[in-house]
Amino acid sequence: MIALDQPFLWNVHWAAPELILAGFALGAVVIGAWGKDKAAGFLSGLGAIAFATAGVLAFLWSPELPQYLFNGALVVDGFSGLAKAMLGLSAAATLLIGADYFAATRQARFEFPIMTGLAALGMFVMVSANDLITLYVGLELQSLAAYVMAAWRRDDVRSSEAGIKYFVLGAIASGLLLFGASYIYGFTGSVRFDAIAAAAPTSEVGLLFGLVLVICALAFKMSAAPFHMWTPDVYEGAPTPVTAFFAAAPKLAAIALLARVLYAPFDGLTEQWRQVIFALSALSMTIGSIAALMQTNLKRLMAYSSVANVGFALMALAAGGQQGAATAIVYMAIYLPTTIGIFALVLALRRGGLHVETIDDLAGLGARHPFAAALFTILLFSIAGIPPLAGFFGKLIVFRAAVDAGAVWLAVVGAICAVIAAAYYLRVLSAIWFKPPAEPVQQAGGAALATAAVASALIFPILVIGLGTLERWATLAASTSF
Amino acid sequence: MIDAPWLSILIFLPAAGAALLVASRSGLSGANPGFDRGVKIMSLVVTIATFIISLIVLAGFDPSSAGYQFIERTPWAFGVDYHLGVDGLSLALIVLTTALMPLCILASWTIEKQVASYMTLFLLLETLMIGVFAALDLVVFYIFFEGGLIPMFILIGVWGGARRVYAAFKFFLYTLLGSVLMLVAIVAMILIAGTTSIPDLAAYSFDPAVQLWLWLAFFASFAVKMPMWPVHTWLPDAHVEAPTAASVILAAILLKMGGYGFLRFSLPMFPDASVYFTPLVFALSVVAIVYASLVAFRQTDIKKLIAYSSVAHMGFVTMGIFAGNAQGVQGAIFQMISHGVISAALFLCVGVVYDRMHTREIAFYGGLVNRMPVYAAVFMLFTLGNVGLPGLSGFPGEILTMVGAFSVNAWVAAGACLGMILSAVYGLTLYRKVAFGVIENPKLAAITDLNGREWVIFTPLIIAALVLGLAPGVALDFTRASSDAIVAGYQAVRGAAP
């Protein structure tokens, strides 16, 4: 139980990763004000180091028992530590793969690492949220930073449109969240998760109403169908490094947050919310897989792919309890490097001096750059869930979670969607390997290519051999946190 | 016998070779004939070394025991063990694989496009194929089983014929759809039985009602892989478009994974369901044998004809397996091995003329015996083997599966018999059109007979076809213990079933 008689900041050291991020963001504003855009490169490097440090620190220094900070507003535990490690590393990777892109498109501004840092801070708070207010604050911090990042190319119509669209729809989702939270507060008399848990089973209908609204708002943030409409447009319009960021870290943060909301306060209502999650999962997988078949733009394709993948992660959450949390986090741990790697490759390749944008832009890559093509092959087959790549194990464990939760039908839907999804990943591979190039693809962006190589190595073979370790971490984190 | 993880070495040696190729490739760009030649030689060396290691395993194997040997087991993740082992059935298929691979590399000597990538994929494919047969853990099996799709997809798509992209997609998606259903069944089995070990699962009795669903899910995968009628349509496309060596691997090894799956999973793990569904399998097998033979007769493309003949011959295998008696199962295993040799040789025969003339149209050829007497003789031998002439390896398998089926259901055996006649019809007609007569096409006037490299490819296959045909006991004795174990377990249940 939370010790309320302690001095207010007595265990604030557990928030060190958040403090690093906040410190970086505030310090970077000062450096940027002084150095202007010439400091962009330096700040990117510094930011990457700060994010990675914060993430790794959060993981290595995660407490054995949950630690409650700020009168129970934040909780630091193994689960949040593991999630923060992945969030921090993804944010760092975003800066690495983005540097070259922004330089090439003359968009290198010092605010970018700051915005990324604030978004990362928001996500750190999200995965540690222990009451509805913190949840909202974290989510909004992340979202507001993300709206700015989406509209980063001010002179580009599509980018501005992406920012506006994301902002308007995101504001509606935030409204839903607050509305739902007000119901939960009204029916339980508390915003703190443990107090809600104590009150939850007594007052069902209004509480469920509030819970469903909160789930809908989070589904919007993680772009689960039917709340995914913004995703393709925002992904397409935003600068590619930003898209890479959106596709990876916020999904994990939202999934982890959802796990926290569902498991801690509403454990008694599992049978009720499970139906909602089943529906979201089935819809996301189906829509994500089928809609992607028609796409020609790589970023739109990856947008729908992320919708489908969120569906799979939700399938894991539906299992409930420690197993659900562990499965979801392992799934995301495999999904994150895969998707970042794919975007890194997209960023590393040029055609006629411009970044590749459509599937056909990749034509002839296999003949010209077998190495980049091999990386693409590994990453795409992994995200399609084909063994022996790590993505397969993600699919395997979410199917196991679904069957364990008694939803064999959901696993079958997932299996069929996996085949449909394979068809569009194969289309990309078919362009890479089978089509002759119209004009040669060039390789540029050494950092991006290196990131892709690291991601591929993670997917295969490191992660495959190290799966046992990953599973142990996730299980341990889940068992000490839920 | 040195105590070493021989199976792991066997599996990962080709992959190590592939990694070496990738490493040596980096830094080079564009065409480089000297490098390409080195790549080919290195691949050949790696595959031959793999073959030698498989012979070492063979030498240390005790065929009189039905149990698994050369067992390796290490915990991995998610309750899955890295668990390997072989019995007579799997070792026979492994040796078939490792023996064919050097021949495939030799047959690919004329490849000039992206040689390093081609050889890398081939070596990876070998790793995955050996892994399928050596895996003793359900999930590990699935990983190898499914992983083979990746290299094959790219091999067909890059080095294939005119409609290669279509064929590659069809191959991949068809097979994947079958396999993911199996994956769901695997997950269910893990949760029900609490283990992923194949020997433990074979000993576990699943509830007969659940067995039906599990059987169907596995059947979806193996029937596509086999391929059985009516889900065979990916095979002719894939075969026709694939490069010669990939066709050989596809016909000789990948198709056998379906039969291997039936023997390893369906019969031992779901015996009640297998009894229940036997009429279905019999019906599909007979339809496959007769229908595919008739379709083969009407083909204008040599490769497509042989592809349909593969569908027909695989019908004998499924028929034999589900006859569920000693003759049927032994015959099915023998037929798989023999088909591995004969279909490989036939596709290589097509490759010989395709390399020279770049067409597979039957009508293009005619009178080849005049210019290529040795080739005509070799082609004749394997055509007759395919037809099932006694004395060649095609015969024992077919007769045994028919004997096995006859004791269960005479009508099925009669239908299969009809298929045997039809195989002579299409096989000999093809041969007549391609080899006999006078040369009418002026383009064939300068065609040359087998060269030294092709001699090297065909000699081992000829020997294998003759040895297996004249002394089938070599293979039958080797696989007897494991097939007897499968049959004994199955018949115990079938006898008890109403």
Strand pairing class (A441-443; B80-86): unpaired
Kindly state the DSSP code that residue A63 receives in the 8-state scheme.
Answer: -
- Residue A416: exposure state from Cβ atoms within 10 A (0-12, 13-18, ≥19): middle
Residues of A with CB under 8 A from a CB of B: 366-368, 370-371, 374, 377, 381, 386-388, 392-393, 395-397, 399-400, 403-404, 408, 411-412, 415-416, 418-419, 422-423, 426, 429-430, 433-434, 467-468, 470-471
pLDDT tens column, A183-237: 888 888 888 888 888 876 665 788 888 889 999 999 998 888 888 889 999 999 8
Does the CB of B202 have a partner CB in chain A at under 8 Å?
no
Spatial CA neighbour of B6 closest among B53, B67, B73, B46: B53
CA A351 to chain CA centroid, nearest Å: 29
Distances (CA, A) of B238 to B103, B146, B171, B232: 20, 17, 6, 10
Average pLDDT over residues B322-349: 91
Q: Which amino acid is at B99?
A: A
Predicted local confidence at residue A134, as pLDDT: 92
Residue A451 — very low, low, confident or very high, per pLDDT cuts 50/70/90?
confident
The residues, ordered by sequence, that sit 6+ positions from B461 with a Cβ below 8 Å of its Cβ are B103, B341, B344, B345, B348, B382
Q: Confidence class of residue A463 from pLDDT cuts 50, 70 and 90? A: low
Residue A72 has phi, psi (to 5 degrees) of: 85, 10
State how far residue A399 is from chain B, nearest Cα, in angstroms: 7
What b-and-e string marks burial along B294-321, b requiring 16 or more CB atoms within 10 Å of the CB?
A: ebbbebebbbbbbbbbbbbbbbbbbbbb
Interface touch A426/B169, C-beta < 8 Å: yes
Furthest C-alpha separation in chain A:
71
Q: How far apart are CA A444 and CA B302, in angstroms?
A: 46
**Chain B residues touching residue A471 (CB < 8 angstroms):** 77-78
Q: Strand, helix or coil at A439?
A: coil
Minimum-distance CB partner of B187 among A386, A400, A422: A400
- Residue B25 to residue A426, Cβ atoms within 8 A: no
Identify the sign of the CA torsion A296, A300, A303, A308: negative
What is chain B's alpha carbon radius of gyration, rounded to the nearest angstrom?
A: 22
pLDDT of residue A265: 80
| Partners of residue A354 on adjacent β-strands | A351
Tell me what the pLDDT averaged over chain A comes to.
86
A41-86 pLDDT tens trace: 888 889 999 999 999 988 888 888 888 888 888 888 888 888 999 9
The answer to whether the CB atoms of B154 and A433 lie below 8 A apart is yes
CA atoms within 13 A on the CB side of A405: 28
Residues linked to residue B73 through DSSP beta bridges, in sequence order: B83
Asked if B114 is an interface residue toward chain A (Cβ–Cβ < 8 A), one would say yes
Locate B457 and state its tokens.
């490819």
**B438, exposed or middle or buried, with CB in 10 Å at 0-12, 13-18, 19+?**
exposed
> Assign residue A131 a region: left if phi > 0, alpha if psi is -120 to 50, beta otherwise?
beta
Chain B residues within 8 A of A429 when measuring between CB atoms: 153-154
**Nearest by CB: A400 against B25, B128, B191:** B191
Over range B111-134, report the average pLDDT. Answer: 88
User: Contact, B180 vs A418, CB < 8 A?
Assistant: yes
What is the predicted pLDDT for the residue at B141?
92
Residue range B362-387: mean pLDDT, rounded = 87
Residue A76 phi/psi, 5-degree rounding, is -115, 120
Q: Which two tokens stand for residue B276?
A: 């229940």
Q: Cβ of B78 and A377 within 8 Å? A: no
Among candidates A397, A423, A434 on the partner chain, residue whose Cβ is nearest the Cβ of B78: A397
Could you give the CA distance from residue B463 to residue B369 in angstroms, rounded to a whole number? 22
B81: closest chain A residue by CA: A468
Q: How far apart are CA B490 and CA B321, in angstroms?
A: 11
- Give residue A273's pLDDT band: very low, low, confident or very high (50, 70, 90): confident
Task: Return the closest-CA partner of residue A87 out of A284, A319, A332.
Answer: A332
In this prediction, residue A9 carries a pLDDT of: 67
* Closest C-alpha to A98, from A305, A294, A347, A345: A347
Q: Are A234 and A143 in contact (CB under 8 A)?
A: no
DSSP state of A440: -
CA distances B91 to B260, B313, B471, Å, are 11, 22, 19
pLDDT at position B74 over 90: no
Candidates A393, A416, A426; nearest CB to B172? A426
For residues A440 and A9, give the distance between their C-alpha atoms in angstroms, rounded to a whole number.
59
Residue B452 at interface with chain A, using a CB cutoff of 8 Å: no
Q: Which amino acid is at A213?
A: L
Q: What angle do CA A245, A246, A250 make, to 5 degrees?
A: 100
Which of A371, A418, A423 faces B26 most closely, judged by CB atoms? A371
How far apart are the C-alpha atoms of B2 and B143, rounded to whole Å?
29
Asked if B147 lies within 8 A of A386 by C-beta distance, the reply is yes
Distance of CA B300 to the CA centre of its chain: 24
Work out the number of other CB atoms within 10 angstroms of the CB of residue B414.
13
Selected residue of A434, A449, A467 to mutate for chain B interface (largest B Cβ count, 10 A): A434
Read off the tokens for B139: 């999930």
Q: Distance (Å, rounded) from C-alpha B226 to C-alpha B289?
A: 13
What whole-number distance in Å separates Cα of residue A475 and Cα of residue B247? 45
Tell me the chain A residues in contact with residue B75 when contact means C-beta distances shorter than 8 Å: 468
Q: Is B75 on the interface with A (CB under 8 A)?
A: yes
Residue B385: CB atoms within 10 Å: 29
Q: Which helix (H) or strand (E) holds A349?
A: strand A349-351
Q: What is the pLDDT of residues A361-412, one digit of tens each?
A: 888 888 888 888 888 888 899 898 888 888 888 888 899 888 888 888 898 8
B143 touching A, CB under 8 A?
Answer: yes
Test the A interface: residue of B180, B189, B192, B214 with most A CBs within 10 Å = B180
Q: Does the distance separating the beta carbons of B191 and A403 come in below 8 Å?
A: yes
B146-178 pLDDT, tens digit each = 888 889 998 888 888 788 888 888 888 888 888
For range A20-45, the mean pLDDT = 88
Dist CA B423 CA A164 (whole Å): 69
B227: tokens are: 């391929």
pLDDT at residue B27 is higher than 60: no
Is the model more confident about A3 or about B410?
A: B410
Average pLDDT for A306-328: 87
Which residues in chain B have Cβ-Cβ distances shorter than 8 Å to A366?
114, 117, 158
> Any chain A CB within 8 A of the CB of B184?
yes
**CA torsion A404→B192→B219→B149, rounded to 10°?**
60
Angle at B269 between CA B139 and CA B142, to 5 degrees: 20
Reported ipTM = 0.85
Model confidence at A320: pLDDT above 80: no
SS3 A297: strand
Tell how strand A67-69 and strand B69-77 pair up: unpaired
Of the ranges A57-61, A356-360, A441-445, B486-490, which one carries the lowest mean pLDDT score? A441-445
The pLDDT, as a whole number, for residue A432 is: 87
* pLDDT, position B49: 93
Which residues fall within 8 angstroms of residue B387, CB to CB, at 6 or more apart? B394, B420, B423, B424, B427, B428
Q: What is the pLDDT of residue B102?
A: 92
Residue B468 to residue B72: CA distance in whole angstroms: 31
From B172's Cα to the closest Cα of chain A, the distance in A is 9
Partner A contacted by B188 (CB < 8 A) = yes
Structure tokens, A282: 């089935």
Residue B290 in tokens: 């007769």
Percent of chain A predicted with pLDDT > 70: 95
Residue B498 has pLDDT above 50, yes or no: no
Question: pLDDT for A100-122, tens place per residue?
Answer: 888 887 777 888 899 999 999 99
- For chain A, say whether B56 makes contact (Cβ under 8 Å): no
| A381 contacts B77? CB cut-off 8 A | no
* Amino acid symbol at B307: A
Three-state SS string over chain B comes to CCCCCHHHHHHHHHHHHHHHHHHHHCCCCCCCHHHHHHHHHHHHHHHHHHHHHHHHHHHHCCCCCCCCEEEEEEEEECCEEEEEEECHHHHHHHHHHHHHHHHHHHHCCCCCCCHHHHHHHHHHHHHHHHHHHHECEHHHHHHHHHHCHHHHHHHHHHHCCCCHHHHHHHHHHHHHHHHHHHHHHHHHHHHHHCCCEHHHHHHCCCCHHHHHHHHHHHHHHHHHHCCCCCCCCHHHHHHHHCCHHHHHHHHHHHHHHHHHHHHHHHHHHCHHHHHHHHHHHHHHHHHHHHHHHHHHHCCCEHHHHHHHHHHHHHHHHHHHHHHCCHHHHHHHHHHHHHHHHHHHHHHHHHHHHHHHHCCCEHHHCCCHHHHCHHHHHHHHHHHHHHHCCCCCCHHHHHHHHHHHHHCCCHHHHHHHHHHHHHHHHHHHHHHHHHHCCCCCCHHHHHCCCCCHHHHHHHHHHHHHHHHHHHCCHHHHHHHHHHHHHHHHHHHHHHHHCC
Tell me: the pLDDT tens digits for B78-115?
778 888 889 888 999 999 999 999 999 988 888 888 88
Q: How many CB atoms lie within 10 A of CB B110?
A: 12
Q: Which residue has the higher pLDDT, A10 or B206?
A: B206
Residue A176 has pLDDT above 90, yes or no: yes
User: Quick check: B265 and B210 in contact, CB under 8 A?
Assistant: no
pTM: 0.89
